[in-house]
């Protein structure tokens, strides 16, 4: 039976490390502040943002929340972000995704000052990630790398199969794992919804990451003995009699755990790591914001300005 990777305990250790460093910043007269923007009234998004705000309070990070109606215009949302970009008391800006269909998500992400891009989704952040340069890394992939490191999983020369090609998990994680450095140096295969015979690929995996958003997609016959299994999926399949959501991952945990060497549960695996790495990115923003040498910030508050800047 697999050894369980405890994301809650690992996340707590990281948050304690971050809390200590935030306290040290405060002792030197520097506060840390994260601004969150939520558009609309999606219950899941509200829950995610509430969790982030609660964790900020535990870390000693000030939070400023902006709840915007679903009907907000693109121009008004850009104006809000622009005001936060120029607010020196705000270190990080997080726009909760997904956004309503009426909003151009890519333009909103690109409008955030790269120095405050704690989600790591800005094109500049993504470019730095691909090049292997220092910068903000998307929180879920960063959390997965931390789990592998802290559980002593060797990645050098190993076959890593990632099921899922999203900009939030699959693509950035693949780029992190192919870098020439410790905790990487892997051979990476990405599978997705158009991959034929996914099982053929997953059976070759020394490390298997499931991040496609389909409950119990990965079954025991798709996993070889001794594989390290990282389950990113969080899928609601119903509710208990007392109204609590029943959440499962992309991996059929009960059968795969008998073949894997290490496995993350759902919930309690990758999920807690995402928020912990957001706190770490917010700390990084506060530590580096006074040094502009690595960034070139363009004001994208108006579409016309954005087009000429590009």
What are the residue numbers of the active site? 52, 96, 119
The rounded distance, in Å, linking the Cα atoms of 77 and 54 is 24
> Cis (ω within 30 of 0) for the bond into 98?
yes
Question: Residue 264 in contact with residue 253, Cβ under 8 Å?
Answer: no
Using alpha carbons, select from 245, 220, 261, 235 the residue that is nearest to residue 164.
235
Which residues make Cβ contacts (< 8 Å) with residue 168, sequence separation at least 6?
97, 121, 138, 140
Given a contact cutoff of 8 angstroms between Cβ atoms, the answer to whether 112 and 81 are in contact is yes
How far CA 62 is from CA of 30, 67, 246, in Å, comes to: 12, 16, 32
Q: What is the DSSP letter of 5?
A: -
* Chain mean position to CA 239: 26
């Amino acid at each position: 039976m697999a050894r369980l990777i405890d994301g809650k305990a690992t996340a707590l250790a990281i948050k304690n490390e971050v809390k200590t460093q935030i306290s040290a910043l405060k002792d030197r007269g520097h506060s840390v502040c994260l601004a969150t923007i939520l558009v609309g009234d999606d219950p899941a998004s509200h829950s995610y943002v509430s969790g982030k705000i609660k964790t900020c309070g535990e870390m000693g990070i000030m939070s400023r929340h902006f709840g915007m109606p679903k009907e907000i215009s693109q121009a008004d949302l850009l104006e809000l972000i622009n005001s936060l970009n120029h607010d020196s008391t705000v270190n990080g800006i997080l726009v909760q995704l997904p956004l309503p269909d009426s909003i151009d998500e890519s333009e909103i992400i690109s409008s955030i000052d790269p120095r405050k891009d704690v989600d790591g989704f800005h094109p500049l952040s993504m470019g730095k990630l691909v090049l292997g340069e220092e910068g903000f890394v998307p929180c879920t992939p960063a959390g997965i790398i931390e789990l592998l490191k802290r559980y002593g999983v060797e990645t050098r020369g190993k076959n890593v199969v990632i099921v899922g090609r999203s900009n939030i998990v699959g693509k950035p994680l693949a780029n992190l794992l192919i870098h020439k450095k410790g905790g990487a140096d892997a051979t990476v295969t990405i599978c997705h919804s158009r991959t034929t015979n996914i099982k053929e690929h997953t059976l070759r995996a020394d490390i298997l990451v499931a991040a496609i958003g389909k409950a119990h997609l990965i079954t025991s016959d798709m996993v070889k003995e001794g594989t390290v299994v990282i389950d990113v999926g969080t899928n609601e399949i119903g509710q208990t009699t007392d109204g609590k959501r029943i959440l499962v991952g992309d991996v059929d945990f009960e059968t795969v755990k008998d073949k894997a060497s290490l496995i993350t549960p759902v919930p309690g695996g990758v999920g807690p790591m995402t928020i912990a790495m957001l706190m770490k990115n917010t700390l990084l923003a506060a530590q580096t914001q006074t040094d502009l040498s690595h960034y070139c910030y363009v004001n994208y508050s108006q579409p016309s300005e954005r087009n000429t800047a590009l």
